[in-house]
Structures are given as C-alpha cells and as structure tokens.
Structure 1
Amino acid sequence: MTPVVPARTGLESAFPAAMLSAVGTKESWRKEVHRPATSTHKWWAKRLGTVFRGILASATTPEDADGAAAYASPLDLKGAVVLDPFAGSGVTGVEALKLGARPVCFDINPVATLVQRQAMQPWNMEDLTAAYKTVEAACRNEIDHLHRTEDGRSVLYYFWVATVQCPECSDRVRLFDSPVFSKNAYPKRVPKAQIVCPECLAVKQSRYDFRTETCPNGHEISQRGAVRGQMTTCRQGHTFKILTALGGNRPMFEMYAKMVAGPDGSKVYEGITDWDRDLYEKCVERLAGLPDSMVLPQGELARGNNTDQALKWNFREWRDFFNARQLVSLSLIATAIRDLPAPSAEREALATLFSGTLEFNNLFTSFKGEGTGAVRHMFSHHVLKPERTPLEAHPWGTPQSSGSFSTLYKSRLQRAHAYKVKPADLVDEGTGVERVTGLAKPLVATVVDSWRSFQAAQGQTAYVATRNSAETDLPDGSIDLVVTDPPYMDNVHYAELADFFHAWLHGMRPYNAYAALATTRRTGEVQHADPVEFGKALEAVWRECARVLKPGGLLAFTFHQARISGWVQVVESLRRAGFVITAVQPVKGEMSTSVVKAGAQEPSNLDSVVVCRRAADGATNPNGSPEEAQATAQKELSALLEAGVDVGAGDVRSVVRGSLLAYLSSAGTGLNDAVAAQVDALASEAIDALIAPKKSAAILV
C-alpha cells in the first residue's frame, strides 16, 4: 500500500502559505459563517479550517506537486488515520472527515469534547426541531412572563449598574464611568445616544459627545461618571478604591434602564419603574422556591490565572455569575433539555446550544451599542472580567434579540446542519476568494469513544474522547498523520474558563460519557505558567505521538508564542520525544483585530506550522547553519509580504525564533539563556531587514 505521507511533502518544501493566508484571512473575519460546524459553542484559540485543510492536503502531497491545486481539489484521503491530541473545537477532525480520512480527536477537557462531537456528528433535523419545540413548550411562557413591561411588551435587555458604599459616609455610589450607556458603533456617523442620570436614573436621549445635560428631574449630568480606573468618588467628594469598599462581598447591582420591543419592530429605551422592580423581586422569590431537581450551576471558583480577577471582586461560586432572573430562566431551559426523553445527538446539540447561550446571559456581559450585535459576550477578554454595568438579556429571546437560545438555534445549529450536509470551502480563484462546494464530503460521522469501536466501525467514523493524550489506547504504528494546535504555555488557561460552562453541563449530562466531576481541571494539562513544567507535559504527549505514528509518518502543528521560553520548551520537548523539525512554515493565524490582540505589544497575525518527523526514521533538519536557518525564515516571510499578507514584528520574531531553535536543537546545541539571547538578536536583525523597509515605504507613500 502506498504510504499516505510521501517521503518528502509539499508541507515541508512547497507549502502554499500565501494562498492559504488569503483564504484564511477571509475565514478569520467570519469563522461562524465559513466554518459553522466548529462554531456551535465557544472554544478558545480556534484555528482556521482553511489552513488545516491546507496542512492536510500538503502533508499528503509530494514536494514536486502543486499544493495549492491539491487544496482546491476534491482530495480523497480514504484510509488515512489522522490524530489530533489537542483537538479543541474539532477543526482537524472536521477537515479530515471532509477529505475522507478517519480522525482521532482527544482533548483533556470535556467541554472541548462536547464541541467536537457537535462538529462531526449529524443531526436529524425533524427530531431536532421536535426536541426544540418540546423545550419551548416547557419553559418559554414563563421566561417571557419574567421579561415584560406592565403593558405586556417584551423587554429585550435590562441595564444594570454595580454599586458600592462609601467607607467614610456610607453614600451609595453607582459605578458609572460615563452616563452614556448606549451609542452607535459608528458614533461620528450617528451621534444619537442614550444617557442616564446617575442621581435619579432617569433616561434621556442625547449625543455621545454631549458636554452637559439636565435630566427630566432637574439634575445636571456631566460627561464623566463616578469611576476613574480602580477608584470612585461619592457625592460627598470622598475618593476610595472600589475593591476595598466591597469588603469581601460581591457587588450589589441596580437596574437603571431597559430596551423594550415595540409591536412595529422598533426598540425603545425606557427607565425602570416600580413594576419592573417588583417583577424582579418575584424572580428572587421564585429562585428561592425552585426544587432541588432543577438544574442550577454547581461549584466554586478555584484560584487561577483567568479566575483571580473574578475572585478579587468576590465572585466565589459559579451561580454568583448570574442574577436571580437569569438563574430562574436558564434553569427552566436547562431542566427542560435534561428531561428530554432519551439520550440522542439532538438532545446533546440542544444542551450544547444552551451552554453556548450562557456566554451571552450572565453578569459579565455588556452592551455593545446600536448598529452591531447588542451583547458583548463575557469572553471578549480572555479573563473572567467583572462588569460594572452588565447587560441582562432575554435568555429565550425574540426575533430582535442577540445571543439568546432561540436566535442561536438558527445562527448556530441550523447553519451548522446546512454546512454538514453541503460543506463549502474558500478557494482563491485568482480574482478573489470565493466559497466553493463539491470539494468536500458531507459530515455524517458516527462518533465512537474507543479504539476498538473505531476499528470495528464502517463508514465515516470519528474517535472522539476526553482523555490525556499522553496516555492513549492507540496501538503502536496506527496513525498516519498527527495534525494539531497545542495549548499556549500561559495566558489562556482553558480549563479555568471552561468550568463556567461545565458548572451547568455536568448536571445536564449532554451524553452518557460526559464527565460528572465538579471541575474540568485535570492532572496532565499541558498549559502551565512554569516553562519547564509546560515542556515536560508537552514532551509526554509528543512521546505518545511518536509511539503511535507509522514509520515515515509526520507530525505538524501550528504555534505562536510571545515568550522565547515557550518556543524553547516546544523545540526541546520535541527533541526529547525523538522528533526532528523538518520545516517551520509561517501562515495566517487568528483574526488580528481581536480585543486581546489589540492590547498586545507585538500582536501576532501569523502562526508557524511546525513540521516534524521521527529521528528514528532518519529525519534531519534541512538547514546547515544558523545563518541558513535565518535566511530560510526570512525568505518565507518575504514571500508573504510580497503577497500582501500583514506581517508584523511579533510575527517575524516568532517565526525566526522557531527556525533557528529548530536548527540548533537538531545540531545538538543546548538551548540555554545565552543561546536564547543570540537567537533573539538574530530575530531582531530579521525584523530590521523585513519590517523597517515596509515602514519606510509607507512613510514615503
């Protein structure tokens, strides 16, 4: 049988990085539209399906063949077994299935496994629609009743503000940093805005750039609120630190406005009335009377890089992330889904949809404004960042809602189903990037959770399981190709964030094997702030990959890291596991305009595709010296620059580091601090050579 992976592949020598960067850029702006199967639920650092299709195509194409043509063809990898040991949202598995391969997808986090299962298994839409209607009949009327005005109109959003008590005079301070609570996404074009009086909470229409206003009750409103960074000032002039004033308690919140749906489809801003306050108090009473059989979030927050900020604000339990009305409404939906008759792919899909709805319905969301999706979800920053002015949305929703169960049902599940039936791929047609169908097989996989079942299965099959990829049930030499995206060394600790969803999911049991433990944190997680521990955990997974790869097999993964210590540990972990890096290929990564990247000193636009083979198979690094390794990296980056790809200083630094460290490691050079400093000096030279001319040209223009 001809090996799936050629002796020398296009991935190693003729990777179509510029073309993939072009199609990847288009995908990155609307991943949920172009790759909806992997967008049914939040997962972090989701890779681009176009790039992973390109990796799979190039890894199975000889070096003298056209990698771009292979990407744009109905390639058939029937018989190939592809492993992703850090499967995340399931991008590798989906792209492998579309190309006819059989994926094995492992992740240590059960929420990730749930997302992967939705990406790959089919749904019967008649059964899904029936299950959705059953849930709607069980809970919608009561949820609608909790989100209405006195005259029966639907409330789309309630606006809240956190309050603290002044330590000196006991004055209650509303933590507004500005009285403008709603403005257009393009305010200079549409200056109309809504403002609130911090004194009496009267609502008034004004401009986003107003200087002073007088509220309907005669109070003067200035442009600035009481908050300045971490400090606030009471009406008596006392300035104090907000966190100190909390005194170990979670902030209190007060409703100050609402957006109401008009019968003609209009949206109207109104102030809060006593009727609204009474309705909320009824929710408090309803929550206290919920029977123990109802689904509610369980568990406490543990200390962590991504949870410490919430803990500082005294959010101790996961149920603290919701107000009483949210807990009642969400519990009604969750319980109705849990109580659907029998375990099925459709029940599982609705449980996943509910979990995704949580992201938009909690006290950590905020209002984005007019002219855009209304709800800024809680993970717009990769930390659990408390909001001083949270937005409470209607969890079931109306046609005018954003981020609700009913609207996400259409935008996520129905869109994902249509994509699974008829997948489309982005192809560079020469005159532009277009969506093309007919290049991929439909996604109709039977999902199994053991190697034995995987071997026995007929037809399109995916082995998807929650497990530590350092310890698998895969036989020696059973995998043709490993394609993955390992976690960051630091920054985003997935389990700390995923516990927010798991707090609800483990009481719902989306499928029989879903983890019933109280947290998704696990021994064996690769992510670690300590570089050495990160390297050890990563090495254990690479060793397992080396064991299960067939002779001549290939490992390829995407990576970028701001700290050189992360690159050093990745390269050294590969060497210790018996791998040699045979290529480092720069290509388009995530969307470069995210909130998180906007705050980075050197935001990244590119990933490095690190290509490896086993030393036992005779693999060698193609470069003969550090200078050659640097020149190789600069040549690849120059090609992207010439193709119009956005390449920044951080991208050059990361790619050159990877290429140099790969050569030095293969040459037996110990990667100590002195070597790392030399590598960074060469990376700086490359930045000067590649980025400085680009800046000079821009200045001249």
Structure 2
Amino acid sequence: MPPRTSLESDFPAAMLSEVGTKESWRKEVHRPATSTHKWWAKRLGTVFRGIITSAATPEGADAVGAYGSSLDLAGAVVLDPFSGSGVTGVEALKLGAKAVCFDINPVATLVQRQAVQPWDLGALEAAYKEVESACRAEVDRLHRTEDGRTVLYYFWVATVDCPECSEAVRLFGSPVFSKNAYPKRVPKAQIVCPDCLSVWESRYDFVAETCPKGHRVTQHGAARGQWATCGNGHSFKILGALDGARPGYEMYAKMVANPDGSKSYEAITEWDRGLYDECVEALAGLPQSAVLPRGQLAPGNNTDQALKWNFREWRDFFNARQLVSLSLIATAIRDLTGPAPEREALCALFSGTLEFNNLFTSFKGEGTGAVRHMFSHHILKPERTPLEAHPWGTSQSSGAFSTLYKSRLHRAHEYKTKPADLIDRGAGVERISGVSKPVGASIADSWKSFAAIQGQAAYVATRNSAETDIPDGSVDLVVTDPPYMDNVHYAELADFFHAWLQNMRPYTGYSDAATTRRSGEVQHADPVEFGKAIEAVWTESARVLKPGGLLAFTFHQARISGWVQVVESLRRSGWAVMAVQPVKGEMTTSVVKAGAREPSNLDSVVVCRRVVDGATNPHSSVEEALATATKELTDLLDAHIDVGAGDVRSVVRGALLAHLASTGADLDESVATLVDSLATESIETLLGSGSDRDRDGDGDGDGDSGSDGDCDS
C-alpha cells in the first residue's frame, strides 16, 4: 500500500476548525467565488483546502505548514462527483491542480461555472449597463410613491375567510411589523392596526394602544400557530380555511427612501393600490417572448408545505409586480448579445436575486439586512406577512439585483483575480494573499477537450457521476461532499430557480427539461435506495482513480441508517475507510440548526483507499476505533472548538461502523444498537452536563456567539 498521508494520520483538524469557524460567519466574504448564487449545504473552502493539502503531505510532515504554503499541485487532477457550489474545484485550481466538477443538477453546474471561469470586468460592466438601460426606468416607476419617492419595500399580509362567518381575516401573528434586531437596545418599533391598517411608531414591547382611527390594538394578531380567530370569535385551522385556493394578500405598509437619505414607514394609499392594479394589467399584456417562470411543483419532502398552501405553479411564488419587474430584468439579460461568460454571470446573478424577491421572503427588521431570504429554513415555507422588495434596488436596498451585482460578482471577480486565504500563523487567523494561484480556468465539457487544455482547466458538466467519460486511472484525488440522504432535497428546491433559467439559457447546453429532478439522484428517503445510488458513484470513482489514490468526503447524518448505508456502499464498491476525521463543518448558530434536536457543528472527513491497492481499516478492535474517535474529539474540545452531542454521535458512529464493516460484520439493527450505545456513552464522557466547557470559546460559557450568518446585502 502507498505511504500514509497527513489526511489519514495527523490531519490538522483543530487548526482547520479555527480558520473554518471564521469563514463560516461570512462565507460570502471569505470565499466569494462560490457564493455568487444559492446552493445548499455549502462546505467550507478552508477545510477543503486543508483536505487537499493534507492528502498531498506525507504522514509526519508539516500539514499545517502545507496548508499555509504556496503548494503547487501542477499536473494533478482532482475530481468532485457531487460538486455543488464548486468548493473543491476552486480550492484545487488555487493549488495548481486541474479540476473536474460534476453535479447532476444544472443549477449547481451554473454556480460552479461562475466559481471557476474568468470574467472581463469591462465587458461585465458594459453588459450590466445595457440591462440597466433596458429595464431599470420601468422597474423604478413601479416602485414609487405618488410624489415620486422610491419605495424600498412593500409589506403584505395573507388573508383567508373564516369558514363559519366568511369574515376576511388578516393573518397577522403580531401587529409589530418592524423592530430592531436588538430591541432591548433600540425599543422603537412600527405597529399596524389589524382592523384598519393604520401605521404608527411605538415600542416593540407595548401592551395595548389605540390606533389613529380608534381601534384597540394588543400584542397578538389573529393568527397563532396553525390556528386563526376572526373578529367574531370563531377559531379555525388556517389550512382548512384555504379550501383549495391560495391565500389572498393585502398590502398594508411601505418603507420609502426620502430625498434626505432617511427612510420612513407609511401606510398604503389608494394610489399605491392603483399602481399595483396597473401591474396586474401589465402582466396580462406581456409578450409571449418575455421571460417568466414556467412549470409546476411536484410533491416532495421540500415542496409539500407549499403545495398544502395551494402553491401549484412556480409563478404562484410571485405577485404581479414582482413578475413584471423580474421579467423585464430577465428578458433584458436573455437578449444580451455580448461575450458569453459575462452574460452567463448576469443570468446567475438574476437567478440569485429571485431568492430575495418572492412571496416567501420576510422582513428581518432594522439593524440588519432587511430581507430574510426564502431558503432560511431549507424548505418552501409560505409566509403570512411577506415582504416585497424593489428587485433592482438602490444603495439602501437588501437582496436587490444592483446591490448583489457589487457584493457578489465584483467581490467574486476580485477574489478570483487575487485569492486570499484564512491562515493562522501564531497571531490569530488572518486573511493572507499570495499563497494561492488566481482562478480563471478554461471550461471543458468533455474529458477529451479537458485533457487537451494547456494551463488552468476545469471540466464542468451536468451529469450523473456514476457514469462518466473519464478513462481508467486518470484522477489523482477524489474530494467531495455527498448529498444528505434525506432532509434537504436539492432538486426540489433548485426547480424554483430553474423555472426562470430554462427560458434564459445561461450557457450553451443548459437543460431545457421541465425539472432538475433526475433519475440517478443520490438523495432518497429510503436508506437502501440511497445506498445503491451512492455505491454507483463510489464504484465509478474507484475506476477513474489512479493506483494508490485517495477518496475523501465530508459527511454528517442525524440518522444512523445514513451512516450504515454510506459505510456499506463503500465496502461493496471496494473501498476501505482509513480514517474518520472530525472538523468544523457548519456555522454554529444557523436558523436551520437551531430547530434540530442535536444540531451539528462538525463534519466527518471520511478518508478511503481502494482495497485492490492493499488498503485495510487501521483499527484492530472496536475499542481501538472508539479510542481514536474519542481522542480526535477531545483534541477539538481542548482547542475550544464547539462540539455538541450530535457531533460526538456522528463521529463515533462513523468510526465504529467503518471498523466493523472491515471485519465483514453485518451492519444490522443489533450492530446499530451497540454503536449508538457506545456513542451515547461517549457523549456523556466527553461533554458531561455541558456546563464545564466553554464550547464556543468566547469565554462566557453560553455556547452562543450570536449571528444568523445571513449577511447578503
């Protein structure tokens, strides 16, 4: 068997977790090349740089130094069969290697292409100006007050009719519709009267007030949980009251940009309603050639909630003004005739803007980015009080095409031209330039054309990674992050973007299928089907890897069945697990994690070699495997890395199942029970009551360093 590497034996997990923690708070700042568009479960570039450099560093050598050095992997080919946002590809290119980025979803491919290809900034700016000239004046006109001021945001509320008395019920959970992100420091808040929609300023913690028209207003609105109560006192289930139709929506307030630079909250007027009615007419009159979303939602784990609210078509996710405004922008981009990479970048930028401009967004409040994007919970969750933003936007806007142009495309261009890495050289984590090569790859769409490229190259394609055109033994290293077995089904969510992109044709060969769902997707709620699908990818990876090469992937899974299937699939496809290395994987306080019973903070880097190359799992017993996992977790805890119960459980499961699989054991229910019992004991041993360790390392022992991490502007 080839000599061991640092990735297998002395992986610098504590250092990578420290720099990864800093990256996790602002991924879009520290790794902007892979942040031009939404993709789910994006991993940390610092960690993946560490995986690649450690795989190239012999056991016992300075892996930390290799991470922070100008390591040159010229001639090497790195494959990512589940490429997602392109993190592996970018890190490989920065280190001088060639990158192969495959994903079965075309939206992911679009994101990867933006991450690795160069743009001409002058051509990009010219294309942007051409789009602005074609559509901005009309989009601005549709977002203005009667006296000509710009409306930054319109506030809406969903309405349903009471099933008993037919009274229209506005589904306010609270009349406080705007408050500061830190209300105890800044108690000022905006209140709406649920009866007459008067708007006034008060405090976030008011008890009861009388609105300007004499209605008594308290802290509670008509909606609470799944239930609502009408003005006549009838309580009913909201979903039951929909009766096969979507809820109605009513504007009740707007935030206006004033000439002096201030912003003000104002009630909706008849003029505002008339302007919206004009948008309804304009939508009906759009030419057939205009870009609009097409397609219907299909049932699925992440679409069922929207379907229950009777959102059937993707265009249902937008009101009339949004559809008209977004169509104007999208059509102008589609019709660009300039250079292809820059047009493609604007297509991706527009698609990313959709995330902040639809009926599933909400208001985050003052003192933070105003728009809470639609995927903050990784599901298509209808909003009872949606926020309508100005989609082109101004310098005061959040989540708009113009502001994202600067914060995403300009930032990504600067990063690709002069990459900066987070490195700890003893005086804390710093951003350092000069240790990575610029990113500006020629993109190939086949192995033949990829192999012929001289210089920096990336083979980027939408394909099932179980079936590739890569010759046997052509890849030096496989590094990836496979999809979750369940929970976040990427294609179900990506169809929201694809509904627009299929009409825009961002690049030659972009899919014109009605959906991004495809046969061969690895994600599956059935663990057995998940195992079969991922086994096919592992088998293909083993075929294309050079003798002695490594496969490394990050993984965490709340259900033990997911771990069982991953380990079994590796065994069946001829891989031996050489190490399971815990390392920082997630932001500590994300919205999604906050609702989990055992939220994860760490990933497990599963390092594998081919059995045909003589590889075997290094542990001789369950006790030895458990001791290794315990030491790795203890090292992270001693370095003040946040480690939770879910992290311990996942890492121990992976290590023990990998060893047991190597012995030929049947990973049945009894084995799973044993493994979980040992994992629970490890949690108690390592974490105890949780009160004796300051797990977030900030010195206060509360385990919370306090950000929602949603920093797009």
**1:315-343, Cα deviation, whole Å (9 max, x unpaired):** 00000000000000000000000000156
Q: Does structure 1 residue 303 correspond to structure 2 residue 302?
A: no
Partner of 1:646: 642
> Closer, same or farther in 2 for the Cα pair 1:693/1:243, shift >3 Å?
closer
1:689 to partner: Cα distance: 1.1
| Alignment correspondent of 1:58 | 54
2:677 maps to which of 662, 676, 681: 681
Residue 87 of structure 1: aligned partner: 83
Matched residues in 1 for 2:219 and 2:148: separation? 34
Tell me the SS of whatever aligns to 1:11. coil
Aligned-partner residue type, residue 32 of structure 2: P
* 2:224 aligned residue: 228
**Structure 1 CA distance for aligned equivalents of residues 656 and 23 of structure 2:** 30
Structure 2 contact 79–475 (Cα < 8 Å) conserved: yes
* Separation in 1, partners of 2:607, 2:402: 43
Aligned position for 1:271: 267
Match of 2:570 among 570, 574, 592: 574
Q: Give the AA of the match of 2:615.
A: A
Which residue in the other structure is 1:430 paired with?
426
Deviations 1:228-264 (A, max 9, x none): 1111010011111111111100111000000000111
- 1:132-281 counterparts in 2 under 5 A? 132-281=128-277
- Is the aligned partner of 1:551 residue 2:536? no
Q: Which residue of 2 aligns with 1:607?
A: 603
Contact residue 152 and residue 397 of structure 2 kept, 8 A: yes
* Residue in 2 that maps onto 1:290: 286
**Structure 2 counterpart SS, 1:554:** strand
1:595 aligns with 2:591: yes
Matched AA of 2:58: P
Q: Does 1:514 align with 2:532?
A: no
Match for residue 392 of structure 2 among 386, 389, 396: 396
Give the 3-state SS of the residue equivalent to 1:305 in structure 2: coil
Paired letter, 2:250: E
2:627 paired residue among 621, 626, 631: 631
For 1:336 and 1:115, how far apart are their aligned partners in 2? 21
Matched, 1:108 2:108: no
Aligned residues: 697
Give the deviation of 1:360 after TM superposition. Answer: 0.1
Equivalent residues of 1:470, 1:541 under 8 A apart: yes
Q: 1:458, CA displacement in angstroms?
A: 1.1
C-alpha separation between the residues in 2 aligned to 1:349 and 1:596?
A: 29
Q: Check whether the contact 2:362–2:385 (CA below 8 A) recurs between aligned residues.
A: yes
Q: Residues 123 and 339 of structure 2 are in contact (CA less than 8 Å); yes or no, is this contact kept in structure 1? A: no
What is the TM-score with the length of structure 1 in the denominator? 0.99
Secondary structure of 2:312 counterpart = coil
Within 2, Cα distance between the matches of 1:446 and 1:7?
33
The answer to whether the 8 A contact 1:6-1:61 is kept is no
Listed one character per residue, the Cα deviations across residues 88-147 of structure 1 (whole Å, up to 9, x for unaligned) are: 000000000000000101000000000000000000000000000000000000000000
Tell me if the contact between 2:84 and 2:103 (Cα under 8 Å) persists in the aligned partners: yes
Q: Tell me the CA shift for residue 571 of structure 1.
A: 0.2
| 2:470 corresponds to 1:478 | no
Contact 1:82 1:479 in 2 (8 A): yes
Cα separation, 2, equivalents of 1:9 and 1:616: 18
Q: Note the C-alpha offset of 1:590.
A: 1.2
Structure 1's 697 and 415: CA in aligned 2 closer, same or farther, altered over 3 A? closer
> Partners in 2 of 1:283 and 1:688 — Cα distance?
60
Please state whether the residue corresponding to 2:410 is helix, strand or coil. Answer: helix
C-alpha distance in 2, partners of 1:635/1:694? Answer: 18
- Do the aligned partners of 1:184 and 1:193 also contact (CA within 8 Å) in 2? yes
Q: Structure 2: which 5+ residue stretches go unaligned?
A: 702-713
- For residues 547 and 594 of structure 1, what CA distance do their matches in structure 2 show? 38
Alignment RMSD (CA, Å): 1.1
Change over 3 Å in CA distance of 1:698–1:70 after alignment to 2: closer
- Comparing 297-306 with 428-437, greater Cα deviation is found at 428-437
Give, as a single letter, the amino acid of the residue that structure 2 aligns with 1:287: L
Contact in 2 for aligned 1:306/1:497 (Cα 8 Å): yes
Give how far 1:6 is off: 6.0
Deviation at 1:180, TM superposition (A): 0.2
Matched-pair contact (CA < 8 Å) for 1:589–1:606: yes
Can you list the C-alpha shifts for 1:344-387, whole angstroms capped at 9, x where unaligned? 00000000000000000000000000000000000000110000
CA distance in 1, matches of 2:323, 2:229: 32
Report the Cα offset of residue 429 of structure 1: 2.1
Note the C-alpha offset of 1:697.
5.7
Q: Tell me which residue corresponds to 1:7.
A: 3
Kindly provide the CA deviation profile for residues 629-667 of structure 1, in whole angstroms up to 9, marking residues without a partner as x. Answer: 000000000000111101111101100000000000011
Q: Which residue of 2 aligns with 1:523?
A: 519
* Identity level (%): 78
Equivalent residue in structure 1 for 2:494, among 494, 498, 501: 498
The answer to whether residue 532 in structure 2 is matched with residue 536 in structure 1 is: yes
Which position in structure 2 is the counterpart of 1:70?
Answer: 66
Q: Return the letter of the residue paired with 2:422.
A: L
Amino acid corresponding to residue 56 of structure 1 in structure 2: I
C-alpha distance in 2 between matches for 1:607 and 1:6: 26
Shift of 1:696: 4.1
Do structure 1's residue 361 and structure 2's residue 357 form an aligned pair? yes
CA deviations 1:503-524 (Å, max 9, x no partner) are 0000000001110111000000
- 1:698 shift after superposition: 6.6
Partners of 1:343 and 1:512 within 8 A in 2:
no
Residues 1:460 and 1:628: Cα distance change in structure 2 (over 3 Å): same
1:532 alignment partner AA: V
Counterpart CA distance in 1 for 2:506 and 2:640 is 45
What is the DSSP-based 3-state SS (H/G/I as helix, E as strand, rest coil) of the residue aligned with 2:84? Answer: coil
Letter in 2 for 1:599: G
Larger mean CA deviation between 165-174 and 315-324 belongs to 165-174
**1:695 Cα offset (Å):** 2.9
TM-score by length of 2: 0.97
Shift in Å at residue 7 of structure 1? Answer: 2.1
- Between 336-345 and 579-588, report the one with greater CA deviation: 336-345
Deviation (angstroms), 1:459: 0.9
Per-residue deviation, residues 172-193 of structure 1 (Å, max 9, x unmatched) = 0000010000000000000000
User: Residues 407-446 of structure 1 correspond to what in structure 2 (within 5 A)?
Assistant: 407-446=403-442
Residue type of the alignment partner of 1:366:
S
Which of 565, 577, 598 matches 2:561?
565
> In structure 2, the residue corresponding to 1:487 is in which secondary structure?
coil
Deviation (angstroms), 1:525: 0.1
Question: 3-state SS of the aligned residue for 2:315?
Answer: helix
